[in-house]
Amino acid sequence: MGRTALLVLLAGAPVFAATPFEAEIAAWRQRREAALIADGGWLTVTGRFWLQEGDNRFGRAASNDIVLPDGPPNAGSFTLYDNKVTVKIGAVTRAVRPNSGDEFRVGRLGLSVFGSAGTYSVRMKDPESLIRRNFHGIEYYPARNEYRVTAQFFPAPRRMADSACPGYLVFRLHGRELRLYPILENPNAKVLLLVFRDPTTGRETYGGGRFLDVELPREGAVVLDFNRAYNPPCAFTPFVSCPLPARQNRLSVRIEAGEKKYGH
């Protein structure tokens, strides 16, 4: 079809006005995908290297412990000793704060350290990642208002998945009373994170479950908008680890809302 014919066809197509709710969800989806493909987004994570006790040399040369796709042949070294990590680049050595977001530039690459209790790894981000270049967008369930529900929050602190769980949420969906246990990703977290699975998991949605960010409770209640349920980072790159849904967060009803399984 020629360009002129296509323009005529589009001009004659009916225009459907989105409701404010649909427009809100569409805007959220645009922000979500923009964050994924941004410089430093999850789609740029293309390597993970476990640190061994002692020096861990990195650079482009094959003789390094950590071989990189860019930068000088011998760029520097990470040293793990007595449960502490330092990095040396050139003549400068400095302490590393794991999980802090500190990033060390080597050519076009960004390197950062994650882990705890003696088990540390270096995460590599590459803006020229094939994962990023091959990204083709996410498929979603239609936005439906029935999947936005109010839940009551009941304080009951505990540990779940090596994270702090401040309590549990009770809500109704499809005529059923359901319960979910959120976690705090860090002590200063501004949102609760729900990691859940449902009967769509592994079929229509990602096999490791999905995430949902929830505002902190106000007057004992929170809003759960499952239209914003999203795939964890490990759905897009194999170089990160994600928490799996706890036994208590396996819902018995289908959540036909939010992101579907991402096809590579």
pLDDT of residue 118: 73
Q: Per-residue pLDDT averaged across 197-213, rounded? A: 97
Distances (CA, A) of 196 to 6, 188, 199, 201: 44, 22, 11, 9
**What are 43-87's pLDDT values in tens digits?**
999 999 999 999 999 999 999 999 999 999 999 999 999 999 999
CATH number of 42-133: 2.60.200.20
Q: Does residue 11 register a pLDDT over 50?
A: no
**What are 236-245's pLDDT values in tens digits?**
999 999 999 9
Domains of the chain by residue range: 42-133, 138-249
The partner residues of 45 in beta bridges, in order of sequence, read: 125
The pTM for the full model equals 0.88
Task: At 19, list the tokens.
Answer: 């409701």
Please spell the DSSP secondary structure of 92-138, one letter per residue. Answer: EEEE--TTS---EEETTEEEEEEEETTEEEEEEE-TT-HHHHT----
Q: Name the burial class of residue 28, with classes exposed (0-12), middle (13-18) and buried (19+) by CB atoms within 10 angstroms of its CB.
A: middle
